[in-house]
Amino acid sequence: MANQKGYHTHLALVIFFLCQFIVAQTSEQKALEEKRARIQNEIKEINRLLFAEKQEKGNVLEQMDALDYKINISQELIRVTNQQSNLLNRQINANIRAIDKMREDLKFLKDDYAQLIRKSYENKAQENRLLFLLSSQNFFQAFKRIQYLKQYKEFRRKQGQEIVDKTEALTKLNKELVEQRKAKDQLIAENTKIKNQLSREINNQKELLQSIRQNESKYRVAIDDRKKETRRIDREIEKLIRSAITSSNKKAGKSNSTKFELTPEAELIASNFSSNKGKLIWPVQKGIKSQGFGVYADKVYPSIKHENSGVTITTDQGETARAIFEGEVITIFTNKMGVMGVYLRHGNYISMYYNLSKTFVQKGDKVSAKDPLGEIYTNRFKGATELKFYLYQDTNKLNPEDWIYQL
């Protein structure tokens, strides 16, 4: 019985560690499934917002960006799906090993139990039990023998129950194995479909690349136009920020034009804003990031560099820009084309919402997170509704992707 007890202890440990492994794998699988669902939804939004019929009006530079963006997202989806498939494969292999071990354990338990039953029947006669007790040399030995008989009976009961539990666990594992194999087959089928779609997108990109090179002058004009627009917006932003800082500091008797002099209230707002880094809400209710922050190489001519001082978010016509955090409207700007921008101050941080057709706030207004600021402008020529969003700390550019949740 001592050997059997040691065996059961070992078996319990094996089952415990197997359960821990399964829980860890399930948690990882859930995280991957959530990530895959997000990417799938993003691809749907890309198709809806960037590849709708209206987007064909856009210039070749924008078409190239959209295709490249979609290809990158599709490749990420393939990687995540492969991770899920590999994880399922590990789970399947672990379950196969567990099933083999359980079958082996179950056979041992049944054989052991059968032997106990045989011995029990051999000693079943009441007179044998009575003789076993009466043959005791003293009262203490008789008491110990009574305890032994009780323990033996309880051990038999527990072993019978363990066989039942083990059989149920084996049935459950076999069922899980069937479901896991189905899930893996489905992931493989989905990945094949994604790869085929990706192959078509890459061919589309090659065709577009060929057409661009056949008409290089138009492409370079589009590049020059984008660079000019970027530089113009950057100059406007820098000028407006310095003006806002100068105006604010003048009230405090300071002449600094590069850094806000903060009141205790403004320091608190800035501190709260900073502590929410990576958790701030999107400046639109729905949309996709169609152009990220920073310097990047041109898709056709890598020697040519582009720069985006903020992020561009494509959304639906009629959508509104919303405040990412509590703050104060310090400037409402309108350019020569009638396109507007709203500038919010959050202590010494400034968030900028550019490319609006109309605004719902006025200078000096206090706003809260999610408050609507204005309707986003829809370019009729391109058929695109794009918000250009910027983030600064005093006069220093910040990458909005580091601050906005899942941007």
pLDDT tens digits, residue range 66-112? Answer: 777 778 888 888 888 888 788 777 777 777 777 677 677 767 766 76
Residue 349: strand pairing partners? 346, 393
Name the pTM for this structure.
Answer: 0.63
Residue 239 or residue 207, greater confidence: 239
- If DSSP codes are grouped into helix, strand and coil, which group holds residue 390? strand
Going by C-alpha positions, the residue among 348, 394, 355, 395 that lies closest to residue 375 is: 355
pLDDT of residue 353: 96
Residue 136 or residue 192, greater confidence: 192
Contact by Cβ (8 Å): 245, 260: yes
The residue written with tokens 């106990």 in the block is 116
User: Which residues, 6+ apart, have CB-to-CB distance to 126 below 8 Å?
Assistant: none
pLDDT tens digits, residue range 350-378? Answer: 999 999 999 999 999 999 999 999 999 98
Going by C-alpha positions, the residue among 359, 335, 336, 257 that lies closest to residue 344 is: 359
- Least confident range of 11-15, 48-52, 389-393: 11-15
Helix (DSSP H) and strand (DSSP E) numbers for the chain: 6, 13
Catalogue all structural domains in the chain, each as residue range(s) with its CATH number: 2-214 (no CATH), 220-402 (2.70.70.10)
pLDDT of residue 53: 45
Going by C-alpha positions, the residue among 159, 125, 114 that lies closest to residue 1 is: 159
